[in-house]
Chains A and B, each alone.
Chain A
Amino acid sequence: MSTDQAIDATPTATPLAVRFQGWGTAITLVAVWALLIAATGLYRPDFFAHQTVLAIAFTMSIVGVLAIGQGIIGISGGFIDLSQPACLILTSLIAVRLSEAGLPLPLVFVGAVLVGMVWGAFNATIVVLAKLNPVIVTLATNFIGLAALYLVFQLAQVPNGSEIYHMGRASFLGLPVIWWPMLVLIIIVGFLMRYTRYGRRITAVGGNRFAAQARGISLKKTRFATFMAAGGFVGFAAVLFASAAGPFNPSSASTMQLNVIAAVILAGISLAGGRGSFWMLLLSVGFLSTIPTSLVFFGLSSDTQSIFQGILLMIAVAIDGYRARRGTP
């Protein structure tokens, strides 16, 4: 077997792996989620109530959109975007300022998404021009960004009674208004990543960047595209966050980071790149968002929440690793 063939062989193996991983992940996630719901419902039958659904759906909304951004970085081989908290706060501040200026909601979305994309382009510029690892770059830009934001503002909130304020509190068809865009975006991105040339290219770069390059895919363009797209999703999530969160400050987003990364990993989107289905995010985000609500129904304090989430993440990646290892010769 020649070296060329060896490299070429890898991408053709990827779709198979995706399909195999996808089903296993879906079945596992549905099973544990159902188990959690059933156990909580047995203990407290009033768990099966519209209020519960609302509480979980609200929690899902913002984490879900952020997870799309994180997933795009992961699947393309950029590993993790550690600058999501800074980008989220920056774009939330933009959303607040635009709302304060009286701009209509669609323009607020456009503004926040654009600024998010600029942030992504800024990350990508450093990654591509300086040829530095995205993990280190985003670690640094998050550090710099949050510190700089703190100099600009310490507190912000959307105006009471404004259009965006109502969006963060309204329901549509029994679910939060801000939940629906999350659902639509995950479905669309899942479709784009799987069935379009661009999506496959991004995944291919994550799977084996040199093979992808050999096939004529520009790594630089891919980096810019993925980071800008990821930043755009953070900007979109920021409008949802600003609408729902009430007053926020530069550190308000830091607790979300772990949930977002955990959601991406549980969804089977490889942080090392090259495999994963974005549709699984609906299951993983839903499952992760149910855990804190269940714990409250069990009467446990929120301290215990992180214990459960942490142990669960370890078990999930251990199972994932075991399955992947067994799958490879």
Chain B
Amino acid sequence: MTDTTAASRTLPGHLPHHPLRAALTGSVASIAFTFIAVIAVGLIWIGPKFVSFGNVSIIGSFLIVPLIVGAFSGFALLAGVVDLSIGSIVGISAAIFAWLITHGWGLWPAAGATLSICLVIGGLNALAIVRFGADPIAATLGMLTALRGITWVLCGNQRMIPAFDIDFFTLINQQLFGLPLFFLLAIVLTLIAAVVVTKTRVGRHVQAVGGDDRAAARAGISVRGVRTAALLLSAVGGGLGGMIYVGQLGSAAGATGLGLEFQVYAALMIGGYSILRGGVGNPVGGALGLLAVAGVANILDLGRISPYYVNIIVGLLLLAAVLLDRLRGGDAYE
């Protein structure tokens, strides 16, 4: 009996013991290399314009929502409960928020109500996954589908809720030091998340639960509590993302956030997270992954490459980046 325990601990048990070292020598170092390579290519090909404030602003404001969603949903990945419903949560949050502010609600009460509904959605995810033990991918795939259907219904026959508010638009697009304010806030949020993950007890608990839930439970960590909290956080990230989209885009649409989960998770995987097992990944790596992918797309846009090649090249890069990560000692499949 004791032997079995020891065996199961030595197999996947390395990471929880040295989270900081593992993160710095592993995934973040790889993505940092990829990120620097992207900047180098951009400088060679596009020239100094690539790193100009103007261009970084464009990339930055495009990334505000993915960065925020990524920072929050990264906790769910870390805890070993991938949340595929984030794109649909963004969609429904945008629809609810847009509906409320066009029906006489103030921005703050509307934001509060929207976030509450998102918490309920996160709670339902947690109920299915944590309480009943449903497979996270399958359960949140169901949530993704159901929420998208509700979003369509909410958006009505025209498939959109116009909610262009020039004040809110100006607020979201506010610049600070020549860069979008909310982009900087998203970076700060990422750094806070990184500190939480690497330097605090809470972060270690999340990693422990994702790395080996039985070992974590034996160590006295509430596995259910951590996973429930992670799924709630993930839903909050989606909720914030949806509301920011309403400000940025001036409306909510049936397609708002459609496919965002793939966009974000592909980048997070490039950045060192895994959607199949918890315990690995770092918010900084995830953010660098998003920046690297957006940088590549930007290089192709500015480099006058036919837009139809963009997806092919981004796909190849996804493969190249995960391969690079593996060659640097990352996770091998079989």
Q: Verify if A147 is at the interface (C-beta below 8 Å from B).
A: yes
- Residues on B with C-beta less than 8 A from A3 are 3-4, 7
- Residues on A with C-beta less than 8 A from B129 are 321
CA distance A146 to B259 in the complex (A): 15
Q: Verify if B28 is at the interface (C-beta below 8 Å from A).
A: no
Closest 10 CB pairs of A and B: A310-B146, A310-B145, A313-B142, A321-B133, A306-B149, A147-B311, A314-B142, A144-B315, A307-B149, A143-B315
Sampled A-B contacts (10; CB under 8 Å): A126-B319, A130-B326, A140-B266, A309-B149, A310-B149, A311-B142, A314-B134, A314-B139, A314-B146, A321-B135
Q: Verify if B153 is at the interface (C-beta below 8 Å from A).
A: yes
Is the beta-carbon distance between B128 and A137 smaller than 8 angstroms? Answer: no
CA distance A133 to B153 in the complex (A): 37
For the complex, count residues of A whose C-beta is within 8 A of B. Answer: 59
CA distance A80 to B141 in the complex (A): 12
Is the beta-carbon distance between B144 and A143 smaller than 8 angstroms? Answer: no
CA distance A128 to B332 in the complex (A): 10
Is the beta-carbon distance between B134 and A132 smaller than 8 angstroms? Answer: no
CB-based nearest A residue for B1: A1
For the complex, count residues of B whose C-beta is within 8 A of A. Answer: 50
The listed residue with most A CB atoms (<10 A of its CB), out of B139, B326, B333, is: B333
Is the beta-carbon distance between B132 and A318 smaller than 8 angstroms? Answer: yes
- Residues on B with C-beta less than 8 A from A126 are 319
Instruction: Give chain B's interface residues, CB within 8 Å of chain A.
Output: 1, 3-4, 7, 124, 127-129, 132-135, 137-139, 141-150, 152-153, 262, 266, 269, 274-276, 308-312, 314-316, 318-319, 322-323, 326, 331-334
Q: Verify if A305 is at the interface (C-beta below 8 Å from B).
A: yes
Known: A3-B4, A316-B142. 6 other contacts (CB 8 A): A147-B308, A151-B309, A261-B138, A271-B135, A271-B137, A308-B146
CA distance A314 to B145 in the complex (A): 10
CA distance A276 to B40 in the complex (A): 49
CA distance A132 to B319 in the complex (A): 9
Residues facing B in A272-329 (CB within 8 A) are 272, 303-322, 324-325
- Residues on B with C-beta less than 8 A from A141 are 315
The listed residue with most B CB atoms (<10 A of its CB), out of A136, A141, A319, is: A136
As a 0/1 sequence over residues 199 to 235 of chain A, the CB contacts with chain B under 8 angstroms (1 = contact) are 0000000000100000000011001000000000000
- Residues on A with C-beta less than 8 A from B133 are 318, 321-322, 324-325
Contact of B322 among A79, A128, A132, A143 (CB under 8 A): A132
CB-based nearest A residue for B125: A314
The listed residue with most A CB atoms (<10 A of its CB), out of B132, B150, B275, is: B132
